[in-house]
Amino acid sequence: MAQDEYGNEDARFAVETLSTLPPVDVSAGLAVRILADFDRVVARRHGTLRRFADLLWPGAPLWQPATALALSLICGLTAGGLLPGAVAAAAQTDQLLQISDIVTDQDQLGDGS
Amino acid sequence: MGTNPDPDAELVLRIGRGDRAAAETLMRRHLPKLLTLARRMLAARAPAEAEDAVQEAFLRVWQHAGRWKPGKARFETWLYRVVLNQCYDRLRKKPMADLAAAEETPDPSPSPGAVLEAAERASTVEAALASLPERQRAALVLCHFEENTNIVAAEAMGISVEALESLLARGRRSLRTMLSALRDA
């Protein structure tokens, strides 16, 4: 109980004491520097994108290489999804043909002996 | 959290898309509080160091706003934590000036009468605050100057509310002991 009272007095003292400190003023220069940082970050971000877009499609607005990239990605994914099935089917047919050729050859050899 | 949405979430999303007006609004909303926090934490150092700490914290915001996920923690709490970490880093780079040395530092802009007395009192309190261990000081500053609840302050410091209350109690006790001793001397 006595300790609680002591704690309350400490808290009251801290509030009174810390309230005597003057408020901190924000300098205009600091706000300007912080916003200049923002402009630099945004310019750098756009700069990287712009350079990449110019490599793909020099001079075009940003949406054109972005659209081209998106379309080629869709084509690639579609082809990647469909092609493995077609290749596997073709490979299976080739294997069947080869087996039937071997069987025919063996039959012919058997007839000859 | 669900009933009390983050007032900064929308601004942060816009900043991630490069919206300068949103950046300016967010900066004006938080800069005074963050600068006060940094100035009180780095009281024994040049004011420019506090400004650098806050500028660095905002730079982190500009760089990471695009990846901010609303709903995890309040943005303001994260911001406090970034500024606190900036202050801790700076405090570790250079040793703290002790209270006696701070007391002997002459006021650079002496003014007459009551103004001088108030300035001296403020300087003594600042020196006492600066001589507290950094976590006790952070707890006091977050709860007093920023008028945060204990829950927000504890979250910003990455500790439990009980640990924060313990830091607060020890900080207040030390402050009172130091300043009473100086007053009696």
Say how many Å lie between the first and final Cα of chain B, rounded: 49
When scoring A4, A5, A10 by the number of chain B Cβ atoms within 10 A, the one with the most, hence best to mutate, is A10
B19 interfacial to chain A (CB closer than 8 Å): no
What is the total residue count of chain B?
A: 185
Phi-psi domain of B71 (left: phi exceeds 0; alpha: psi -120 through 50; beta: other): left
When scoring A16, A17, A46, A50 by the number of chain B Cβ atoms within 10 A, the one with the most, hence best to mutate, is A17
Q: Inform me whether the pLDDT recorded for A40 exceeds 90.
A: yes
Residues of chain B contacting A21 with CB distance shorter than 8 Å: 40, 122, 125-126
* Positive/negative CA dihedral, B177, B179, B181, B184: negative
Domain coordinates in residue numbering, chain B = 1-97, 110-185
Query: Which three-class secondary structure state does DSSP give residue A106?
Result: helix
User: What burial class does residue B38 get, using C-beta atoms within 10 Å of its C-beta: 0-12 exposed, 13-18 middle, 19+ buried?
Assistant: buried
- Would you say B133 and B143 are in contact if contact means Cβ atoms under 8 Å apart? no
User: What letter would DSSP give residue B43?
Assistant: T
Residues B47-57 have a mean pLDDT of 93
- Would you say B132 and B175 are in contact if contact means Cβ atoms under 8 Å apart? yes
Residues B46-59 have a mean pLDDT of 92
- Would you say B31 and B61 are in contact if contact means Cβ atoms under 8 Å apart? no
Its CATH architecture, for the domain B110-185, is Orthogonal Bundle (1.10)
Of the candidate ranges A28-32, A97-101, B22-26, B102-106, the one whose mean pLDDT is the lowest: B102-106
B110 interfacial to chain A (CB closer than 8 Å): no
Q: Inform me whether the pLDDT recorded for B96 exceeds 80.
A: no
Cβ neighbours, 10 Å, residue B104: 8
Residues B12-29 have a mean pLDDT of 93
Q: Which two tokens stand for residue B5?
A: 């949405």
Cβ neighbours, 10 Å, residue B172: 28
Picking from B31, B40, B172, the nearest residue to A31 by CB comes out as: B31
Query: Cβ contact (<8 Å) for B175 and A37?
Result: no
Cβ neighbours, 10 Å, residue A14: 22
Q: Which two tokens stand for residue B65?
A: 């706003």
Residues A25-44 have a mean pLDDT of 92
**Of B113 and A44, the one with more pLDDT:** A44
Distance CA B177, CA B99 (A): 13
Distance in Å, alpha carbon of A66 to nearest chain B alpha carbon: 17
Question: For residue B123, what is the nearest residue in chain A, using CA coordinates?
Answer: A21
Say how many Å lie between the first and final Cα of chain A, rounded: 115
In tens, the pLDDT along B139-161 reads 999 998 777 888 889 999 999 99
Cβ neighbours, 10 Å, residue B156: 26
Considering chain A, what percentage of its residues have pLDDT values greater than 90?
Answer: 13
How many Cα atoms occupy the beta-carbon half-sphere of A58 within 13 Å?
0
CATH 1.10.1740.10 matches B1-97: yes
Candidates B69, B55, B61, B54; CA nearest to B22 is B61
Residues B56-82 have a mean pLDDT of 88
Query: Cβ contact (<8 Å) for B62 and A7?
Result: no
Residues of chain B contacting A3 with CB distance shorter than 8 Å: none
Q: Which two tokens stand for residue A111?
A: 């007839």
Residues A82-97 have a mean pLDDT of 73
Distance in Å, alpha carbon of A97 to nearest chain B alpha carbon: 56
User: What burial class does residue A78 get, using C-beta atoms within 10 Å of its C-beta: 0-12 exposed, 13-18 middle, 19+ buried?
Assistant: exposed
**Of B174 and B2, the one with more pLDDT:** B174
Q: Inform me whether the pLDDT recorded for B124 exceeds 80.
A: yes
The residue behind tokens 């071997």 is A102
B144 interfacial to chain A (CB closer than 8 Å): yes
Distance CA A87, CA A10 (A): 81
Same fold flag, B1-97 and B110-185: no
Candidates B49, B62, B115, B119; CA nearest to B88 is B49
